[in-house]
Amino acid sequence: MEPSGNAAMKTFLVVDDSALVRKIARRMLESWAFDVDEAEDGQRALERCSRSMPDGILLDWNMPQVTGLEFLEKLRGQTDGTAPKVVFCTSMNDMGHIARALSSGADEYIMKPFDEDILREKLEEVGLLEKSET
Amino acid sequence: MIAHSEYDFLRRFLKSRSGLILGDEKQYLLESRLEPVLQKMKVPDMSRLVALLRDGPAPAGLADAVVEAMTTNESLFFRDKNPFDLLSTHILPELLQKRAPMHTLRIWCAAASTGQEPYSIAMLLKENERLLGGRRVEIIGTDLSSDVLARCEEGLYNQFEVQRGLPVHYLLRYFTQVGDQWRIAPEIRSMVRFSRLNLLQPFSHLGTFDIVFCRNVLIYFDSATKSDILARIAGVTAKDGYLLLGGAETVLGLTADFVAGNRRGFYVPRAAASAMALAAK
Ligand SMILES: C[S@@+](CC[C@H](N)C(=O)[O-])C[C@H]1O[C@@H](n2cnc3c(N)ncnc32)[C@H](O)[C@@H]1O
């Protein structure tokens, strides 16, 4: 495994108001050698992104202040804001929300509860991880 | 704990019925998988089960229930991805060049399990409709187990299943939500026909296929069984057709009827390969 802070490491921002979800996601992402940062709402996530754009973002929907969807719309409006792969990760598990997320620029969508297999496969799908054979 | 002689009998029984090879130390697996069968069929214990299967009279459906309980049905949409990429970027374009416009493309999923594989193929073909140019396609999904075939017919998947391997835009396009389940769209459902088939038994009546998916089922069999099935698959594969196996499966050392294709991940009948080599001279 590469040492942390290595410039070649891909960076990931986990945006969720639940500390537990952030912790679980961080553990999975770090096991795949991502350099992980966290934000507990959309406002803080925007601040993080204005400092430096991560390669990937895992995004909750319902959060205080700026929601996941509002964050995404603002992000995609910025220069460089189209670069990060954004994967929604939310318990809004219906067609309407999925459709809105995609039309606002999300690359993938995870319905909670999720597990390691699902997260890994979604990251493969958006090209942040190499494909593995089952 | 099950007696040695009974374990031995069940191993031979399973091998002859479905090809399944059970290792020396799989007593625990066997018992935990068969426990629900005992309950459902009201058989008091394993000894009685063995006696019924060996000497009869076995109640209707008992043998099938035992065989089906021991199959591994795990599957996911677009499993391993590569076979499906190959299908749309390489195999289909090549095949369409070789086939007359009136030819119906025939695809066989020889171990359909709960339907993810045939439906993945169907969705992919739907996405490539322009490429197909109005050609008719027939996808046939077969499996040994009637339980999984019933699930195929139903086309209903839970939230975990629709997230394993399925890109979300496919979910949006080809599924409808039914409570917390997801149902495959009628336009995809109607592209696939399902029927029950044991690969140990003859299947030449299925006709000739342009593409055969036989994925993640040969791994459960011994070499002789694999060889036999592969040879018979060659018999139903078009001379210039394609065979796709699972990631841990190969034809190497098992049959001379198939050879590696011109890309990693699929096989072609040997006759076609030598004809192509001749043409290239
Ligand atoms: C692990 S699943 C593979 C599903 C799918 N092809 C895939 O790759 O995801 C294996 C399937 O093979 C079926 N099977 C096992 N033995 C069989 C036999 N002798 N004939 C036909 N199907 C068999 C099982 O019922 C099970 O559904």
Average pLDDT over residues B115-133: 95
Question: Which is it for the CA torsion B9, B14, B19, B22, positive or negative?
Answer: negative
Task: Kindly state the percentage of chain B with pLDDT values over 70.
Answer: 96
Structural domains of chain A, with CATH: 11-124 (3.40.50.2300)
How far is C-alpha B103 from the chain's CA centre? 24
**With contacts defined as CB-CB under 8 Å, which chain A residues touch B81?**
124, 131
Residue of B13, B70, B71, B82 to test ligand 1 pocket, by largest number of atoms within 8 Å of CB: B71
Q: Do A98 and B172 touch (CB under 8 A)?
A: yes
For A68-122, the pLDDT digits (tens) are 999 999 999 998 999 999 999 999 999 999 999 999 999 999 999 999 999 999 9
Q: Which residue has the tokens 């089906």?
A: B68
Average pLDDT over residues A51-79: 95
**Which CATH architecture does the domain made up of B82-280 adopt?**
3-Layer(aba) Sandwich (3.40)
For B24-80, the pLDDT digits (tens) are 889 999 999 999 999 999 999 999 999 999 998 888 899 999 999 999 999 999 999
What pTM did the predictor assign?
A: 0.93
CA–CA distance, B133 with A68 (Å, rounded to integer): 41
Question: Which is it for the CA torsion B124, B127, B128, B132, positive or negative?
Answer: positive
Report whether residue B165 contacts ligand 1, using a CB cutoff of 6 Å: no
The alpha carbon of A18 and the centre of ligand 1 are apart by a number of angstroms equal to 41
pLDDT band (50, 70, 90) for residue A65: confident
**Which neighbouring-strand residues pair with A85?**
A56
CA-based nearest distance B165→chain A, Å:
6
Is the per-residue pLDDT at A1 higher than 80? no
**CATH class label, B4-70:** mainly alpha
Q: Do A117 and B82 touch (CB under 8 A)?
A: no
For B43-57, the pLDDT digits (tens) are 999 999 999 999 988
Fill in the DSSP letter of residue A1. Answer: -
Between residues A7 and B208, the one the model is more confident about: B208
Q: Do B80 and A109 touch (CB under 8 A)?
A: no
B198 touches chain A (CB under 8 A): no
Domain residue spans of chain B: 4-70, 82-280
Closest Cα partner for A71 from A112, A39, A29, A42? A42
The alpha carbon of B218 and the centre of ligand 1 are apart by a number of angstroms equal to 8
CA–CA distance, B54 with B275 (Å, rounded to integer): 50
pLDDT of the residue at A2: 43
For B80-116, the pLDDT digits (tens) are 999 999 999 999 999 999 999 999 999 999 999 999 9
Give the other-Cβ count within 10 Å of B28's Cβ: 10
User: Average per-residue pLDDT in chain B?
Assistant: 94
Q: Do B172 and A95 touch (CB under 8 A)?
A: yes
| Closest B-chain CA to A87 | B168
Is the per-residue pLDDT at A133 higher than 70? no
Q: Do A131 and B169 touch (CB under 8 A)?
A: no
How far is C-alpha B249 from the chain's CA centre? 13
Report whether residue B73 contacts ligand 1, using a CB cutoff of 6 Å: yes
